[in-house]
Amino acid sequence: MRDYLPISKEDMKKRGWEQCDFVYVIGDAYVDHHSFGPAIISRLLESHGFKVGIISQPNWKDESSIQILGKPRLGFLICAGNMDTMVNHYTVNKKHRKMDNYSPGGVMGKRPDRATIVYGNLIRKSYKDVPIIIGGLEASLRRLSHYDYWSDKVKRSILLDSSADILIYGMGEHPIIEIAEALDSGISAKDITFVRGTVYKTKSLDSVYDGVLLPSFTQVVENKRAYAESFYKQYCNTDPYSGKTLIEQYKEKEFIIQNPPAYPLTQDEMDHVYSLPYMRDYHPIYEKDGGIPAIKELKHSLVSNRGCFGGCSFCALTFHQGRIIQCRSHKSIIEEAKIIIEEKGFKGYINDVGGPTANFRHTACEKQKTKGACVGKQCLFPKPCKNLKIDHKDYLSLLRQLRKLPKVKKVFIRSGIRFDYLLHDKDETFFRELCEYHVSGQLKVAPEHICDNVLKNMGKPENTVYEKFIEKYKAINKKIGKEQYVVPYLMSSHPGSTMKEAVELAEYVRDLGYMPEQVQDFYPTPSTISTCMYYTGLDPRTMEKVYVPKTAKEKEMQRALIQYRNPQNYDLVIEALKIANRTDLIGFDKKCLVRPRKLVKEKTAYGNVGKNNISVKKNRLDTDRTATKQGKKNTMKKKKSIRNVHKKKGGN
The predicted-structure confidence for 501-524, as pLDDT tens digits, reads as follows 999 999 999 998 877 777 899 999
Q: What is the pLDDT of residue 1?
A: 67
Handedness of CA 457, 458, 460, 465 (dihedral sign): negative
Q: Do 93 and 152 fall within a single domain?
A: yes
353: domain CATH number? 3.30.750.210
Where does 379-528 have alpha helices with state H? 393-403, 419-423, 429-437, 452-458, 463-480, 499-512
528: domain CATH number? 3.30.750.200
Q: Does 58 reside within a domain?
A: yes
- Looking at residue 301, the DSSP 8-state letter turns out to be E
* CA dist., res. 115 & res. 134, Å (int): 11
Question: Per the omega criterion (within 30 degrees of 0), is the bond before 382 cis?
Answer: yes
Q: What is the pLDDT of residue 137?
A: 96
Average pLDDT over residues 344-359: 95
Q: Treating both helix axes as pointing N-terminal to C-terminal, what angle do 37-47 and 267-274 enclose, rounded to 10 degrees?
A: 100
* CA dist., res. 485 & res. 59, Å (int): 47
64: domain CATH number? 3.40.50.2300
Percent of the chain with pLDDT over 90: 87
Q: What is the pLDDT of residue 639?
A: 46
Chain-wide mean pLDDT for the chain? 91
Q: Does 229 reside within a domain?
A: no
Q: Does 108 reside within a domain?
A: yes
Average pLDDT over residues 635-652: 44
Q: Do 634 and 499 fall within a single domain?
A: no
- Looking at residue 288, the DSSP 8-state letter turns out to be G
Average pLDDT over residues 21-50: 98
> Is the pLDDT score of 609 beyond 50?
no
Q: Do 356 and 400 fall within a single domain?
A: yes
Q: Do 521 and 490 fall within a single domain?
A: yes
Q: For residue 235, what pLDDT band results from cuts at 50, 70 and 90? A: very high
Average pLDDT over residues 401-420: 95
Minimum mean pLDDT among 477-486, 528-537, 541-550, 599-608: which range?
Answer: 599-608
Domain boundary among 383, 410, 439: 439
Minimum mean pLDDT among 53-57, 173-177, 370-374: which range?
Answer: 370-374
Q: Which of 476, 421, 420 is nearest to 447 (CA)?
A: 420
Q: Do 163 and 22 fall within a single domain?
A: yes
Where does 67-205 have alpha helices with state H? 85-89, 115-126, 136-140, 158-161, 173-184
Q: For residue 586, what pLDDT band results from cuts at 50, 70 and 90? A: very high
Q: What is the pLDDT of residue 453?
A: 95
Q: For residue 16, what pLDDT band results from cuts at 50, 70 and 90? A: very high
Number of independent structural domains in the chain? 4
Q: Does 454 reside within a domain?
A: yes
Q: Do 25 and 100 fall within a single domain?
A: yes
Minimum mean pLDDT among 34-48, 171-185, 290-304, 619-633: which range?
Answer: 619-633
Q: What is the pLDDT of residue 613?
A: 42
Q: Does 248 reside within a domain?
A: no
> Is the pLDDT score of 80 beyond 70?
yes
Q: For residue 644, what pLDDT band results from cuts at 50, 70 and 90? A: very low
Q: What is the pLDDT of residue 517?
A: 74
Q: What is the pLDDT of residue 604?
A: 37
Q: Do 414 and 428 fall within a single domain?
A: yes
Q: For residue 634, what pLDDT band results from cuts at 50, 70 and 90? A: low
Q: Does 281 reside within a domain?
A: no
149-162 pLDDT per residue, tens: 999 999 999 999 99
Domain boundary among 164, 198, 232: 198
* CA dist., res. 207 & res. 204, Å (int): 8
Q: Do 492 and 591 fall within a single domain?
A: yes
Residue 19 exposed, middle or buried by CB count within 10 Å (0-12, 13-18, 19+): middle
Q: Do 323 and 423 fall within a single domain?
A: yes
Q: Do 304 and 428 fall within a single domain?
A: yes
pTM, entire model? 0.89
Q: Which domain holds residue 171?
A: 9-198
* CA dist., res. 288 & res. 251, Å (int): 50
* CA dist., res. 307 & res. 294, Å (int): 22
**Residue 212 bridge partners (DSSP):** 246
Average pLDDT over residues 292-303: 95
Q: Do 175 and 316 fall within a single domain?
A: no
Q: For residue 615, what pLDDT band results from cuts at 50, 70 and 90? A: very low
Q: Do 397 and 448 fall within a single domain?
A: no
Which residues have CB under 8 Å from 503's CB, separation 6+? Answer: 561, 576, 577, 580, 582, 585
Q: What is the pLDDT of residue 636?
A: 52
Q: What is the pLDDT of residue 428?
A: 96
268-284 pLDDT per residue, tens: 999 999 999 999 999 99
Element (H, E) at 75: strand 75-79
Residue 368, CA distances (Å) to 242, 289, 388, 546, 563 in order: 11, 47, 10, 32, 42
* CA dist., res. 196 & res. 172, Å (int): 10
CB 84 within 8 A of CB 525: yes
Average pLDDT over residues 367-392: 94
Domain boundary among 160, 175, 198: 198
Count of beta carbons in the 10 Å neighbourhood of residue 392: 22
3 state DSSP class of 130: coil
Q: What is the pLDDT of residue 361?
A: 95
Q: Which of 362, 428, 361 is nearest to 399 (CA)?
A: 361
- For the ranges 417-426, 605-614, 631-640, the one whose mean pLDDT is highest: 417-426
Q: Does 368 reside within a domain?
A: yes
CB 465 within 8 A of CB 420: yes
Q: For residue 440, what pLDDT band results from cuts at 50, 70 and 90? A: confident
Q: What is the pLDDT of residue 151?
A: 97
529-548 pLDDT per residue, tens: 999 999 999 999 999 999 99
> Is the pLDDT score of 48 beyond 90?
yes
> Is the pLDDT score of 202 beyond 50?
yes
Q: Does 213 reside within a domain?
A: no
